[in-house]
Amino acid sequence: DTEVTQTPKHLVMGMTNKKSLKCEQHMGHRAMYWYKQKAKKPPELMFVYSYEKLSINESVPSRFSPECPNSSLLNLHLHALQPEDSALYLCASSLNLAGAYNEQFFGPGTRLTVL
Amino acid sequence: GESVGLHLPTLSVQEGDNSIINCAYSNSASDYFIWYKQESGKGPQFIIDIRSNMDKRQGQRVTVLLNKTVKHLSLQIAATQPGDSAVYFCAESSGNTPLVFGKGTRLSVIA
């Protein structure tokens, strides 16, 4: 299995809702990532987990809360989002954080719309 | 032709021609580079990578060139096909740092 899966594919939520995005990989990768991508822009790094521990938080607002329950799963909990948070949320994984040829594999993304 | 401005830079090529997509990077300590292809509604897909101790690497129909002197990376696609139409991103990293993505170029193939 050489893919990263994400659910749901699309999500529409109100500003008072609580929802979660899910990501899964079974490649034995120990680093997992959340990115946010706005239209016509490159992916922007949000969080990095390495060996199930939060390694990097790129000054993301607390209304986004990541969770790594085990080495295969990565969640992103959403609460009290703003319309400007509407974007494509991408999950990625890599064998580990360090070293060359540390290719990141991306999932298809969750298209989030905040009303 | 190629256009740069407020919109995503776009490269238009005829089917069958070769495409060259360019990327300038800023971190002279970057030692690993990847090209990704992103089709509409999908996540980025790995195309080819290169380490800083190389200046050229070839894959199937694709070649990546690295010029560390001027911090420039290019992706060459031979015999461009309609299925190559997508946005292409270069990405760089150094040591333990996660990938940093470039702005992206939209490739449009004219049949």
Query: Quick one: which of B62, B97, B94 has its CA closest to B76?
Result: B62
Q: Give the pLDDT confidence of A7-22 residue by residue, as tens digits.
A: 999 999 999 999 999 9
**Chain B residues closer than 8 Å to A48 by CB:** 98
Q: Please state, for a pLDDT cut of 70, what percent of chain A lies above it.
A: 95
Q: Token pair 């970057």 is at which residue?
A: B30
Q: Mean of the per-residue pLDDT values for chain B?
A: 91
Q: Give the pLDDT confidence of B2-50 residue by residue, as tens digits.
A: 434 456 899 999 999 999 999 999 899 999 999 999 999 899 999 999 9
Whole-number pLDDT of residue A9: 96
Test B98 with A98 for CB contact under 8 angstroms.
no
Of all helices (H) and strands (E), which one includes residue A92? strand A87-94
Residue B62: count of CB within 10 angstroms of its CB: 17
Q: Which residues contact B6 (CB under 8 A, 6 or more apart)?
A: none
DSSP-derived 3-state class of residue A106: strand
The residue of A27, A30, A45, A46 whose CB has the most chain B CBs within 10 angstroms, and thus the best one to mutate to test that interface, is A45
Average pLDDT over every residue of B73-90? 97
Give the nearest chain A residue to B87 (CA atoms).
A40
